[in-house]
Structure 1
Amino acid sequence: MTGQPDSLTAMAARGLVVEISQILNESLEIQKKLLKMESKTGEIRQAKLIKDLGISPNTLKIWNEQGLTPINRGGSLFYLLEDLHKFNY
């Protein structure tokens, strides 16, 4: 053994760093978009959230499964902007 990582380990490490970097960049972009959102009630309707953040309904479904809680009012789903900020940090 030479004490240096083999090329497979090095490639895996580089791939992991790239993946983590992409995830952090995506999270930062979401935070930037959230900071621009305004609401008199502090809430945003689900359809507007999906459109304004440029996310898919499936992404929002995953967020809900990970603990983001929508508010159901009159058959429409809303999210508190404060909850969105906390969730995406």
Structure 2
Amino acid sequence: MADTTDALTAMVARGLIEDISQKLNESLEIQKKLLKLESKTGEIRQTKLIDDLGISAKTLKVWNDQGLTPINRGGSVFYLLEDLHKFNY
């Protein structure tokens, strides 16, 4: 029984490590893309952010729900690059 439990524990741990590794890699890729973005105002328009990062509007909505704050101005939505760098993806 102990061998079965140990094997199961090892499989669960391996899966968790793979999930964490994948999330970290995704976050690093987003950070690399963000570093390439330049803005005189320190902001990026929502549509450009979605295109440049290759994310969906749904992903951005999830990020908003998790605390990323959009700026609404003149019918357009912007994000501060500083906020994007600090955000935990």
1:85 corresponds to: 85
Aligned partners of 2:71, 2:53: CA distance in 1, in Å? 18
Aligned partners of 2:73, 2:5: CA distance in 1, in Å? 56
1:47 corresponds to: 47
2:55 alignment partner, SS class: coil
AA aligned to 1:81 is: L
**Do the aligned partners of 1:50 and 1:57 also contact (CA within 8 Å) in 2?**
yes
For residues 54-69 of structure 1, the aligned pairs below 5 Å read: 54-69=54-69
**Do the aligned partners of 1:33 and 1:52 also contact (CA within 8 Å) in 2?**
yes
2:28 corresponds to: 28
Q: State the number of aligned residues.
A: 89
Deviation by residue 1:29-78 (Cα, 9 ceiling, x = unmatched) = 00000000000111000000000001111110010001000000011100
Aligned partners of 1:4, 1:39: CA distance in 2, in Å? 56
| Structure 2 spans left out of the alignment, 5+ residues | none
1:16 corresponds to: 16
Aligned partners of 1:7, 1:42: CA distance in 2, in Å? 50
**Do the aligned partners of 1:31 and 1:88 also contact (CA within 8 Å) in 2?**
no
Q: How high is the TM-score relative to the length of structure 1?
A: 0.92
1:82 alignment partner, SS class: helix
AA aligned to 2:67 is: G
The two structures, once aligned, show a CA RMSD in angstroms of: 1.8
Structure showing the higher helix proportion among its residues: 2
| Identical amino acids, percent of aligned pairs | 80
